[in-house]
Structure formats: C-alpha cells, structure tokens
Structure 1
Amino acid sequence: MMRTPHLWCPDSSHIRQEWDTVADNGLRLEQNAAEELVRALNSEVSGLYILFNQVRKQYWLVEGTESKPISDFLEDAADRLTEMTDDIAIRITALGGVPACGPMGIRQHAPIFIEDAHHYDIRSSLERDLDGYATLAVQWREHIELADRLGDTATSELLRRHLKTLEADAHVLDRYLADETLVRHDATR
C-alpha cells in the first residue's frame, strides 16, 4: 500500500521573511544595491544547483576507457560546486535576502537548464557541462562588474575567487573533450 507523504505546511505566522524579498542588512549596503545583488546572486545559486546535479549525474553514469579519471574529476567538481553554492547562499543572507532553493525558486532564477534524465554518451554530457560552466562564468563576470559598480567589494571578491574555480574546471572539461580523447563512435559503422 502506497502511503501519501505527510507535508508540514506552516501557517504564515511561522514565516520570518518571504521568498524573493530583501530585508534590511547588517552590512549597511543601500537597499536598492542589496536587492540587485541578491537577484544576481540567486541566479548564481540557481545555476550552481543545476550544474551540481548535472555533474553528479555524469559522475554516477560515466563509463568507458577514461571513466576513472573523469569520475574522479566529476566527484571533486561536484564538491567544489557545493562549496561555491554555500558561500554565495551565505552572502545572499548577509545581504538581507533568502537564497533560491527548491525547484520553483531555482527555475525562476537559473541561467542554465539541466539536461533530460536520459543516460547520454559521456562526450555529449561533458559538452553540456562545459556549456553550463561557460554560461555561469560569463554571467559571473557581469555580476562582478555589478558588485564593483554598487560598491560591494566583498561580493565582488567572493565571485572572483569562485570564478577562478569555475574557469579551471571548465578548462579540464575542455581538455577531456579534445579530439584525441573520449573515443568518438562512427555512426556509419
């Protein structure tokens, strides 16, 4: 017999801050600036959630002659994505916001889409991962400029530090996707 899961739905008296709002912050950053930065950072968090899930999926499904080094890289990359997500979510909270979470919040803010649930060949999967990393890197550069323009050096430095990690992992993926790796199968055989 299948049981219906019990969901606890608190009434509004339990809500400390509504989703997608920005409260005053202890950093004394101007409200309009904080709102812009929270919106930008929620996009980062959402993209990281999606990229983490996609990288983790590739880790579970990787196979082939180069599966061990790729698997090791993907496992470590997922850990780095988790660390970045946590750091940025903590910054969102410091700015007076509520970090994006759950499917609705993530979809609302994400700059990338997760691949379908199918099991794809590793080359195609890694190409999508690389595209996700590149999309996030481009967006992060824009958000670094935004933080600089709004006078939020701490957010700018946080994004710069993690941008280096995104770019380094993208470089590794690019190397795995070089012509002489991940054997291509001729469709005419």
Structure 2
Amino acid sequence: MSTQETVRQRAGEVEGSEALRMDAEKASQIVDALNTDLASTYVLYHQLKKHHWNVEGSEFRDLHLFLGEAAGEAEEFADELAERAQALGGVPVSGMDALLEQATVEPEDEDVYDIRTSLRNDMEMYGDIIETLRDHVELAENLGDHTTAHMLRENLIEVEDAAHHIEHYLEDDTLVLESATQ
C-alpha cells in the first residue's frame, strides 16, 4: 500500500468548469442535484439486484431478466451522473454511508419478501426518483445547463418506462392458476 497520500479535491467541494463555462456557484447546485440522483440510483440498483437474485415462482424467468436489465440501466445511469458531476468540477458521491445519507429514497431491509411486495417497493422507489429527476431537469434548465437537463430527461424516459413495466407486473390479471382445482 502506498504511503503517499495527497487529497486532490475534498468531497463536497465544487470547482466549476472553465472548459464548460460553468461557474462554481451554478455548478455546485447542479452537482448537489446530480449526487442526490446518483445516491438514489445506487440505492435503487442494489434493491433491484436483491430482487433479481431472490425472485421465485412461475414468472421467475421474465421477472429475473427484467430486474437484471433494470439494474443494469440504473448502473449505467449512475455512471453518467458521476461523470457529469466530475465534469462540472465536483466530486461524485461514492461511499456507502454517503450514498445512503444523500439518497432521497430508502432501501428495503435485508429480508426477502414475496415478489409482489418487492415490486411494490421498487415501484415506490422509482416514483420517488421520477419526482426528483423532474425537479432536477427544471433546476438544470433554469441554471442554463442544458446538457445536464438533456441527460436527466433522457434517463427520466427509461425510469418511467421501468416503473410502467412494474405497474403491469402488479396487475391482477394472470395466466397462472391459484390452485390445481380451478
């Protein structure tokens, strides 16, 4: 392990970006929003992976694939958020404690629940993230950061689509019989 330790930028500090012509004051507001979205997205990612690993039942395959894809999309968006925060002169939130502290969503506990409960919890988390993303799109637009607004808007489409799919999974119509006597 290296004995040299040099802190190049402290977490929470935002320098702004000369190249992107974004001053530190505006960049700080946007980086804070991006870090909130990053933290919430990682909490969502971990919950989706938990459900991906633990799903059972007759619809296992479809749900397992859907939850894996949804987690993958969340992970990709988290990377975009972190890279944008860094490009604006900020430090992307990354530690587990910091992620939980900055997230606007609360993760499900460690227990394994039936898939309907798990999906309801996922849909609730997606809904909270959707509301926050909408607010952050508006913030970025108002601060003149059209690139961040565009990136958030594009992800909002995917997040809403995933929430809509979960809503369909939770409908009461199914081909699966409740018992063999029906």
The normalised TM-score by structure 2 is 0.92
Q: Deviations over 1:7-47 (max 9, x none)?
A: x6977x41110011111313121211100000000000000
Indicate whether 1:29 and 2:17 are aligned: no
Q: Which amino acid aligns with 2:85?
A: I
8 Å Cα contact 2:85/2:91 also seen in 1: yes
8 Å Cα contact 2:11/2:91 also seen in 1: yes
8 Å Cα contact 2:37/2:133 also seen in 1: yes
CA RMSD of aligned residues (A): 1.9
Indicate whether 1:166 and 2:159 are aligned: yes
Aligned partners of 2:87 and 2:3: how far apart in 1?
A: 25
**Aligned mate of 1:16, from 8, 18, 24:** 8
The aligned counterpart of 1:154 is: 147
8 Å Cα contact 2:12/2:90 also seen in 1: yes
Q: CA deviation at 1:107?
A: 1.8
Indicate whether 1:178 and 2:171 are aligned: yes
8 Å Cα contact 1:176/1:182 also seen in 2: no
Aligned partners of 2:28 and 2:133: how far apart in 1?
A: 17
The aligned counterpart of 1:100 is: 93
Q: Deviations over 1:55-107 (max 9, x none)?
A: 00000000011111011100111111111001111000001111111112102
Aligned residues: 177
Indicate whether 1:125 and 2:97 are aligned: no
Inter-CA distance 71–15: structure 2 relative to 1 (3 Å threshold): same
**Aligned mate of 2:138, from 120, 145, 149:** 145
The normalised TM-score by structure 1 is 0.88
Aligned partners of 1:52 and 1:182: how far apart in 2?
A: 29
**Aligned mate of 2:67, from 67, 74, 85:** 74
